[in-house]
Amino acid sequence: MTGGNKTVQPKRMELYVHIPFCVKKCEYCDFLSFPCAEDDTQRRYVEKLIQEIVKMGYRYRKYTVSTIFVGGGTPSLIDSGLIVEIFDALRENFHIEPEAEITLEANPGTLTEQKLADYRRAGINRLSIGLQSTDESELKLLGRIHTYAEFLESYRMARAAGFENINVDLISGLPGQTEESWLKTLRAVTELEPEHISAYSLIIEEGTPFYEKYGDEAVNPAYPPIPDEDTDRRIYHLTKDVLKSCGYERYEISNYARPGYECRHNIGYWTNMPYLGLGLGASSYMEGRRFTDLESFEEYMSAPAGRHRNVRKLTEKDMWEEFFYVGLRMIRGVSLTEFEKRFGFFPARAFPGVMERFIRDGAAELVHGYFRLTDYGLDVSNYVLAHFLLEKEEFPSCRN
Ligand code: SF4
């Protein structure tokens, strides 16, 4: 776009597309997903989703799209012809940048050669495969639908189909998990040389079958024990060390990549890029507002396409708090210049005493204009990050 001699850059955004269907619910899952094998329901959902794509594409026609992430649920469960239809609609209604990173989440046991070929045809250039563990008993405990052998077959097919950018999702801290079993998982996965590995720790969320079994205390003698805090710490350090020795750079608290393969979509979330969620319950952050799609399947299907709820206009303060809170998840930290450019003042004024306090405690440091967490700060990141979201009045010790 041009205005006189001056070139005006189009605004950029990311897209998230939600496919809520799964084969069955995993024991630890609190995502908005449910078992659904009926082709007719899946097709009707995609028709509704496409109506939303058309409406939102018009509303945000001034933006270009830098990344797309199709998540769920299990997007690889549905007919790949439907995925192609979704991408046809996305391309017709949004300005997708030619170099856009386009990811689809897939589960072993649901991929076929035909589906993978269709994904390539649709322009999907990154796959995120949910493995979680290579240990059969751990997979069973998690309620996963696949074996490790099925994962290997899916991975092989994905490479054969031409996917050169693959993420493998893992979960540590599983019931019955030991350092040895986790090490085996890490070794087996790194030998496959995926470009990216996500390694999250298990969190037992309320409302999941795991919560029913383990309760608040995360203890039930009838089931394999959740690793204690010491084991959990050792597993956490093992992850960092093993992945580093295999050439994976840790660029976010739980994400590791070969150089150049960091997930651009997630980096967008952590650097406050606008994103639009499409589909059941999807969250958005556009033009200073957060909002979500309807979360009840029946309501989503019967309401006019693109009906949003929980619309909240962020204040300036919300924005700079979030800029810090999510930005500090990145290992490189938060750019102080970028903060000043966006908000017009220096961050030390936003968090009086807090930044200095964590530097003093050895939890944070200033490096090349970035404020970032140290290894120690990352170890206690939940504690540190909370201080950038709360009212400073609640932390009198930070005000000295
Ligand atoms: S496959 Fe993913 S979204 Fe589906 S139930 Fe399991 S964890 Fe949840």
Q: What local confidence, expressed as pLDDT, does residue 368 receive?
A: 95
Q: What is the mean pLDDT of residues 73-99?
A: 98
Give the pLDDT confidence score for residue 58 in this predicted structure: 97
Amino acid at the residue 102: I
297-325 confidence digits (pLDDT tens): 999 999 999 999 999 999 999 998 999 88
Is residue 73 lining ligand 1, measured as CB closer than 6 Å? yes
Which tens digit of pLDDT belongs to each residue from 210-263? 999 888 777 788 888 899 889 999 999 999 999 999 999 999 999 999 999 999
Secondary structure, 3-state, 63-92: EEEEEEEEEECCHHHCCHHHHHHHHHHHHH
Q: At what angle do helices 148-160 and 179-192 cross, to 10 degrees?
A: 20
Q: What is the pLDDT of residue 7?
A: 65
**3-state SS, one letter per residue, for 341-384:** HHHCCCHHHHCCCHHHHHHHCCCEEEECCEEEECHHHHHCHHHH
Q: Is the CB of 194 under 6 A from ligand 1?
A: no
pLDDT at 364: 97
At residue 1, the pLDDT reads: 42
Q: 275 and 284 in contact (C-beta within 8 Å)?
A: yes
- Ligand 1 center to 33 CA (angstroms): 7
pLDDT tens-place string over residues 331-373:
999 999 999 999 999 888 888 889 999 999 999 999 999 999 9
Name the pLDDT band for 17 (thresholds 50, 70, 90).
very high
> Encoding tokens for residue 222?
């009838």
Give the model's pLDDT for residue 218.
74
Residue 396 has pLDDT above 50, yes or no: no
Q: Is the CB of 74 under 6 A from ligand 1?
A: yes
Atom of ligand 1 nearest to the CA of 33: 3
- Residue 224 per-residue DSSP state: P
**Model confidence over 113-138: pLDDT tens digits?**
999 999 999 999 999 999 999 999 99
Residue from 24, 26, 69 to probe ligand 1 pocket by mutation (most atoms less than 8 Å from CB): 26
pLDDT of residue 145 exceeding 70, the answer is yes
Q: Which residue has the tokens 């084969």?
A: 23
377 lines ligand 1 (CB under 6 A): no
Give me the mean pLDDT over the 188-206 stretch. Answer: 96
Distance 224 CA to ligand 1 centre (A): 21
Alpha-carbon distances, residue 359 vs 253, 287, 320, 366, 372 (angstroms)? 19, 33, 20, 8, 9
pLDDT at 222: 83
The ligand 1 atom at the shortest distance from the C-alpha of residue 143 is 6
Judge whether residue 4 has pLDDT over 60.
no
Domain ranges of the chain: 2-270, 331-400
pLDDT for the residue 200: 95
Ligand 1: which atom is nearest the Cα of residue 105? 2
List 64's β-bridge partners, or say none. Answer: 12, 95
Per cent of the chain over pLDDT 70 is 95
Q: Quote the CA–CA distance of 3 and 308 in Å, as a whole number.
A: 34
Two domains, one topology: 2-270 and 331-400: no
Closest ligand 1 atom to residue 28 Cα is 7
Q: Residue 395: its pLDDT value, please?
A: 33
How much is the pLDDT for 165? 98
Say yes or no: CB of residue 33 within 6 Å of ligand 1: yes
Considering only 8-12, 50-54, 165-169, 246-250, which range has the smallest mean pLDDT? 8-12
Question: What pLDDT sits at residue 6?
Answer: 57
Read off the pLDDT of residues 287-298 as tens digits, 9 standing for 90 and up. Answer: 999 999 999 999
Q: Distance from the CA of 110 to the center of ligand 1, in angstroms?
A: 12
Q: What does the pLDDT average to over 48-74?
A: 97
Place of tokens 């540590």: 172
- Per-residue pLDDT for 201 more than 50? yes
Residue 353 has phi, psi (to 5 degrees) of 85, -25
108 lines ligand 1 (CB under 6 A): no
Residue nearest to atom 6 of ligand 1 (CA): 26
- For the chain, give the mean pLDDT: 92
CATH 1.10.10 fits 331-400, yes or no: yes
Q: Model confidence at 397, in pLDDT bands (50, 70, 90)?
A: very low
Of 71, 72, 198, 68, the residue nearest 124 (C-alpha):
68
Per-residue model confidence as pLDDT tens digits over 92-112: 999 999 999 999 999 999 999
In the numeric block, which tokens belong to residue 305?
């396409």
> Average pLDDT in the 149-155 region?
98
The reply to whether CATH 2.60.120.10 applies to domain 2-270 is no
CA dist 323 and 311 (Å) reads 19
- Do 345 and 383 contact (CB within 8 A), yes or no? no
Q: Is 336 helix (H, G, I), strand (E, B) or coil?
A: helix
245: part of which helix (H) or strand (E)? helix 229-245
Which whole number is the average pLDDT over 197-214?
92
Q: What is the total residue count of the chain? A: 400
Distance 341 CA to ligand 1 centre (A): 40
